[in-house]
């Protein structure tokens, strides 16, 4: 089990980093499609794996696909969303993590508790959502107009922008539609020259290295390093804990682990509602720090009740300790998902378009390292859930400090396209990125 879980996180680390860099070269949409297809194919192959070694290798590939979806997905959402509601849009997309978690928990109950098939059947059902997502992206999701414009594909950028404006309710006529000349004027000094098809691998590796190095220049490192710290601590304290949550439930004598896991998944809902309602109002830094602190406090309550899970009230016989554990775990999940939604949005906003997918890849890689480290730590503490929960609590409190080290909050503010010339980016945004509901011509977001 540890080998398989570790292989998934290693794959996610590699996939997020490699495809994150690649997404700044070929586009958000193709990178997202590649990740979804890899995950769905590997998920299907898991069902026919003959032994644990092959299964671990296949899950490693699946992890590559899972990790590969995050950087292009949230880069695309940030670039397609109006600034005024960017936090809400990211929350809506991220909320499908909750739907996927509920789907997985329900399938686990059907397959394992009701004995409708075995783990191979379960693996096939878990591969279905990625395949469905790949089909939906292929037929319905356009490339980011910002990415297209930045790479000189002005006609595609104009077409997609006017199409999105129409979808959002703007009455797009010839007189008020965004024109090719307007986009060319705004991006004339910002176009990135694409690689030649015959460029050798050494040149491509050099360019990828330069893309990463850009994130650690004096202008960018004050953004990159705190974000990496947040991703590491949040992954260690929450994502790393999720793998062991059923083991913790067993250790504290909660035997119906599948039902508890379902409740744990449903607890995402209030977190999504809170982040969607308040992220654009209170700002990203306040939302992130408060979510992580509250999640840490919930883990502290979880640890308190876990000391004596069989404690009962004499009058009613209710297992107070177990009830407290379930409620604390659900509250922790709600606050942690609020934190995840916020950091997904914040990371996409703080990196420029030219390096946004790479930045997302670097940060998600830091998160995967945190989750992998958590597997070793949590594995050694699995029989001592109180200490395990206290360690996770400390990780979240450490991460809650890091947002204070970031620069200005970019809630409801324009995205930047390049590391340099941020003033020009502001001018581009005035024309190309404002609210769909209010700007004419309809903007490139």
- The answer to whether residue 17 scores a pLDDT higher than 50 is yes
Structural tokens at position 64: 């590559």
Q: How confident is the model at residue 1 (pLDDT cuts 50, 70, 90)?
A: low
Is pLDDT at 110 greater than 50 in this prediction?
A: yes
What is the rounded CA–CA span in Å between residue 390 and residue 304?
10
Is the pLDDT assigned to residue 171 strictly greater than 70? Answer: no
The better pLDDT of the pair 323, 5 is held by 323
pLDDT tens sequence across 257-305:
667 777 777 888 999 999 999 999 999 999 999 999 999 999 999 888 8
> What count of residues does the chain have?
445
Q: Is the pLDDT of residue 204 over 60?
A: yes
* Residue 144 tokens, joined: 């980011």
d(CA 23, CA 31): 5
Short-list 123, 132, 161, CA closest to 145: 161
First to last CA, the chain: 44
| Average pLDDT of span 9-38 | 92
* pLDDT band at 437; cut points 50, 70, 90: very low
Of 179 and 19, the structure prediction assigns the larger pLDDT to 19
* pLDDT for the residue 3: 65
Please report the pLDDT score of residue 274 as a whole number.
93
Least confident among 21-35, 119-133, 167-181: 167-181
Residue by residue, DSSP assigns 263-281 as HHHHTHHHHHHHHHHHHHH
| pLDDT at residue 160, as a whole number | 87
Residue 319: the pLDDT is 67
* Nearest-angstrom CA–CA distance, 18 and 35: 11
Q: Is 174 exposed, middle or buried (0-12, 13-18, 19+ CB in 10 A)?
A: exposed
For 47-102, the pLDDT digits (tens) are: 898 888 888 899 899 999 999 999 999 999 999 888 888 999 999 999 998 888 88
Q: What angle do CA 70, 344, 275 make, to 5 degrees?
A: 135
Model confidence at 373: pLDDT above 70: yes
- Sign of the four-CA dihedral 261, 361, 234, 280: negative
What SS3 state is found at 168? Answer: coil
Record the pTM: 0.84
Q: In this structure, what token pair is assigned to residue 289?
A: 């720090």
Q: Cα(436)–Cα(34) distance, rounded to whole angstroms?
A: 30
* Structure confidence at residue 362 as a pLDDT band (50, 70, 90): very high
* pLDDT of 135 over the 80 cut: yes
Could you give the percent of the chain with pLDDT greater than 70?
82
CB of 132 within 8 A of CB of 173? no
Cα gap 384→306, rounded to integer Å? 10
Lowest-confidence segment of 253-267, 321-335, 405-419 by average pLDDT: 253-267
Distance CA 29, CA 347 (A): 18
User: Residue 398 has what pLDDT?
Assistant: 94
- Cα atoms in the 13 Å half-sphere on the side-chain side of 179: 6
What is the pLDDT at residue 223? Answer: 93
């Amino acid at each position: 089990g540890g080998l398989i879980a570790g292989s998934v996180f290693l794959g996610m680390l590699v996939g997020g980093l490699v495809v994150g860099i690649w997404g700044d070269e070929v586009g958000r949409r193709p990178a997202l499609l590649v990740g979804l297809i890899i995950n769905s194919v590997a998920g299907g192959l898991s069902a026919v794996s003959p032994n644990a070694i092959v299964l671990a290798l296949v899950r490693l590939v699946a992890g590559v696909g899972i990790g590969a979806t995050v950087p292009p997905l949230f880069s695309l959402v940030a670039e397609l969303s109006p600034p005024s509601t960017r936090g809400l849009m990211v929350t809506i997309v991220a909320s499908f993590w909750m739907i996927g978690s509920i789907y997985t928990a329900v399938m686990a109950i059907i397959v394992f508790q009701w004995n409708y098939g075995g783990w191979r059947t379960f693996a096939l059902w878990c591969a279905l959502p990625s395949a469905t997502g790949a089909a939906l992206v292929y037929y319905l999701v356009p490339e980011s107009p910002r990415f297209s414009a930045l790479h000189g594909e002005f006609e595609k950028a104009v077409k997609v922008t006017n199409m999105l404006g129409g979808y959002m309710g703007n009455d797009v006529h010839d007189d008020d539609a965004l024109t090719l000349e307007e986009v060319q004027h705004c991006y004339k000094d910002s176009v990135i020259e694409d690689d030649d098809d015959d460029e050798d691998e050494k040149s491509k590796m050099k360019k990828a290295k330069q893309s990463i190095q850009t994130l650690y220049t004096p202008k960018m490192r004050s953004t990159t390093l705190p974000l990496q710290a947040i991703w590491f601590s949040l992954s260690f304290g929450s994502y790393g804990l999720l793998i062991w949550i059923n083991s913790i439930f067993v250790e504290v004598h909660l035997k119906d682990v599948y039902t508890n896991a379902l409740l744990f998944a449903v607890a995402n809902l209030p977190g999504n509602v809170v982040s969607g309602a308040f992220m654009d109002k209170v700002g990203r830094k306040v939302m992130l720090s408060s979510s992580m602190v509250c999640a840490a406090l919930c883990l502290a309550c979880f640890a308190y009740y876990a000391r004596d899970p069989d404690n009962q009230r004499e009058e009613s016989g209710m297992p107070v300790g177990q009830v407290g554990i379930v409620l604390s775990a659900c509250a922790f999940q709600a606050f942690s998902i609020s934190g995840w939604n916020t950091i997904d949005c914040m990371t996409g906003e703080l990196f420029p378009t030219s390096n946004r997918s790479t930045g997302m890849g670097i940060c998600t890689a830091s998160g995967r390292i945190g989750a992998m480290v958590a597997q070793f730590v949590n594995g050694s503490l699995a029989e001592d859930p109180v200490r395990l929960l206290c360690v996770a609590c400390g990780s979240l409190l450490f991460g809650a400090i890091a947002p204070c080290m970031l620069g200005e909050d970019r809630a409801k503010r324009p995205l930047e396209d390049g590391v340099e010339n941020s003033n020009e980016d502001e001018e581009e945004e005035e024309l190309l990125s404002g609210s769909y509901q209010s700007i004419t011509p309809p903007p490139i977001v």
